[in-house]
Structure 1
Amino acid sequence: MKIKKYHRKKGAWLWVIAATLFLAGTLCPPQSHAQLPARFYWKTLSGANAVPLIVESVSGNTNPFDPAHSVSADADIDATLAMMGYAKFFPLFDRASMAAIILPMGRISGDTTVAGVAFSQSAQGFGDPTLEFVINLFGPPAQMNIPDALRYEPGFSVDLLVDFMVPIGEYDDDQALNIGQNRWYGRLGMPIIWQLGSWVPGRRTTLEFLPVVWWFGDNDDYVGQTMETDPLFQLDAHLTRDFTEHLWGSVDGTWYSGGESSINDIPGEKLNDAGLGLTLGYQINDNLSLTVSYKSTINDDAPDDLRMDNFMVSFVYGWHKLIEGSRRLKDE
């Protein structure tokens, strides 16, 4: 009887460890806009599901619903964004993959100038939905079962990321500030995770990079004019560290380059701006995670520099049928 009891306890602890590793990955869903916390592209068990609720408060001299971040020198814009979605993790050609859909919504208000005309406006409603696909190109194979999860270490991992935004959000062609963007746009990127040291919950450290190129179609009815935007390069970097098994933090950096917007062939300014931020993440229970982060631009003294600060809170609910079943083992 003692031997059987010991094996049950040992099995239960294995399930607890597996659940911790699962939550570390599945509670990091995609986000449809440009500000991304650390650990968003950690891998998890195939078959896992995640539902995020992300709320952001943003202010600056650009429309935060538009990832082109076109600057209006005298603009003063405030916005509240909320995003809800669903992510599914699955194997594809033995590689870890994820597909997701995110629906942004919220409100925006402020003062801006377009082609010499000043606007003081507000808007609210639903934004352009995001479809996202991620597949691992280099790194460990997909985690198909609990033993795979227990043995998993990312090492040096490289993914392919494709985002596609569908222009069906709220849009008024008489307004310069809108929730939807009235054009097709998306991004192509390569999330990189570099494991530093041990991969034990409570002691994990990573260096992460996300280089992406944003592309934008034309908006043929931007307050009666045509807006064209060149591709924008964005690089996010994060140094992350576990403080305990349930609490982690990161130092975050962002760099934007390019993305010149033209109104009726009159060119604007190219971005060459950087931002710094901090993130804290906490695992509330076996299914629910909380992330809090703040990021602000740092080289924003000139009128044409990008000026933006962003406070974000996210709650993510994740589940997997194997992990849910593990609770029965812990209770025995």
Structure 2
Amino acid sequence: MNRHGVGVQLTVTDAPVVVDASSDAPEARVARRLSLCLAYGMIAALSVVSNAKAQEAEPRSYSNTPIGLNFLLAGYAYSQGKLAFDPNTAIADTTFRSDTGVVAYVRSFELAGQSAKLDVIVPTSSFAAHGLVNGEPREREMLGLGDPRFRFSVNLFGAPALSAKEFASYRQDLIVGVSMQVSAPVGQYDNTKLLNLGGNRWSFRPEFGISKAWGPWTVELAPSVTFFSNNTDFFGGNTFSQAPIYAVQGHVIYTFQSGVWMALDGLYFAGGRTALNGVKSDNEQAITRAGLTVALPINRQNSLKLSASTGITTRTGSELTAVAIAWQYRWGDGY
């Protein structure tokens, strides 16, 4: 989901609250102020959920991989939580549930003598939110395509481009890499609705990664920043903008001789203050999350990955817990 709130309408499934923005009557001005207040409250809460999903921790992003391999991934993630609003708004007791399926393709290749990867990720989600508006129950349910993501990563040091045969004798020490992830605005979007699965805007996330191994243990650290373009059709022509989100993720990984590995994951991100038609809201974020990831090789071509994460601290008070499972199939000669 993305952070799509209200302009002058609080949309519910069949019972929208509409305000005539062209009227100068006192009642209309009060209604517009209330709608703007609700918009900020909704944007603040939904930013927490959407950004937490977008910024999920990813262990082993900068590990070395034999070049010339292809990976097909299919995954499912379930998340649920509560959306916290300013007590001065008319929205209360809001909860959400999200079921997301993901299909991804990854290709490893050589760049300047080091290993590199290209990822293409396409999500499809079912999302439902329920809450009270002025004491009346409201809900929104969605099913559709989310914004696809494209990620290019290259290791700059410590991960030489190797064939599968050469990789058998490789032992990691220190790896340094960089990546760029781009999210394209092609997901489900309806500018008459309160919530959408697509963002109707671009995002760009450059990241720097360090991975250091000591025997079976590996420690990783990856700071990043996400930039957003403006959504100029936010609820019927309003302009929604968001400041950059600064994040850092860390992992402590243990790899067993069988090839099974486990990771303790940590993620902190801050920033992301939003504005509606140039008017800034007081919803800057500061969120800490923790999680666990387990990878289980099945055979040479197939593996499973299980993960779970939850919020530890948050400036806004919104809560998010998620669990996921992913299957990976590998093919290619590895040259």
Letter in 2 for 1:280: V
1:230 and 1:208 mapped to 2: Cα distance?
Answer: 27
Instruction: Select which of 241, 249, 266 maps to 1:228.
Output: 241
2:264 is the alignment partner of 1:251: yes
Report the alpha carbon displacement of residue 235 of structure 1 after superposing the two structures with TM. 1.2
Q: Is 1:84–2:103 an aligned residue pair?
A: yes
**Are residues 283 and 253 of structure 1, via their aligned partners in 2, closer, same or farther at CA, if it must alter by over 3 Å?**
same
8 Å CA contact 1:296, 1:308 repeated in 2: yes
Which 4+ residue blocks in structure 1 deviate beyond 4 angstroms? none
Measure, in 1, the Cα distance between the counterparts of 2:128 and 2:260.
35
Q: Secondary structure at the match of 1:35?
A: coil
SS in 1 for 2:328: strand
Within 1, Cα distance between the matches of 2:158 and 2:334?
A: 23
Match of 1:261 among 255, 274, 292: 274
SS at match of 1:146: helix
C-alpha distance in 2 between matches for 1:112 and 1:103: 29
Q: Which residue of the partner structure matches residue 70 of structure 2?
A: 49
Q: TM-score, normalised by structure 1?
A: 0.76
> Which structure features the higher share of strand residues?
2
Amino acid at match of 1:172: D
Q: Which residue of structure 2 aligns with residue 276 of structure 1?
A: 290
Separation in 1, partners of 2:92, 2:276: 15
Which of residues 302, 308, 325 in structure 1 aligns to 2:320? Answer: 308
Matched, 1:209 2:228: no
Q: 1:59 aligns with which of 80, 103, 117?
A: 80
Q: Return the alpha-carbon distance in structure 1 between the equivalents of residues 208 and 132 of structure 2.
A: 35
Aligned to 1:12: none
Counterpart CA distance in 2 for 1:38 and 1:233 is: 18
Counterpart for residue 321 of structure 1: 333
Which residue among 294, 303, 312 is the counterpart of 1:298?
312
| Distance change >3 Å, CA 83–CA 113, structure 1 → 2 | farther
Match runs of 1:121-140 below 5 Å: 121-140=140-159
Please give the secondary structure, in 2, of the residue aligned with 1:321.
coil
CA-to-partner distance for each residue in 1:284-318, whole Å, 9 max, x for gaps? Answer: 11111111111000124x7x234211101111111
CA distance in 1, matches of 2:54, 2:103: 12
**Contact 1:108–1:178 (CA<8 Å) still a contact in 2?**
no
1:289 aligns with 2:303: yes
Indicate if the aligned counterparts of 1:216 and 1:229 stay in contact, CA closer than 8 A.
yes
Distance 2:94 2:227 in 1: 24
In 2: Cα distance, 1:214 partner to 1:322 partner: 33
Deviates more, 1:160-169 or 1:220-229: 220-229
Question: For residues 132 and 92 of structure 2, what CA distance do their matches in structure 1 show?
Answer: 8
Contact between 1:271 and 1:305, CA under 8 Å: does it hold in 2? no
Q: Is the 8 A contact 1:119 1:176 kept in 2?
A: no
1:97 to 103, 116, 122: 116
Residue 172 (str. 1) matches residue 190 (str. 2): yes
Q: Decide whether the 8 Å contact of 1:140 with 1:153 is kept in 2.
A: no
Alignment deviations for residues 172-209 of structure 1 (CA, whole Å, 9 cap, x no partner) = 11222211110111210012211112xxxxxx210012
Of 117, 122, 128 in structure 2, the residue corresponding to residue 109 of structure 1 is 128
Structural RMSD (CA): 2.4
Does the CA contact (< 8 Å) of 1:73 and 1:305 recur in 2?
no
Partner of residue 26, structure 1: none
Kept after mapping to 2: 8 A contact 1:190/1:212? yes
TM-score normalised over the length of structure 2: 0.75
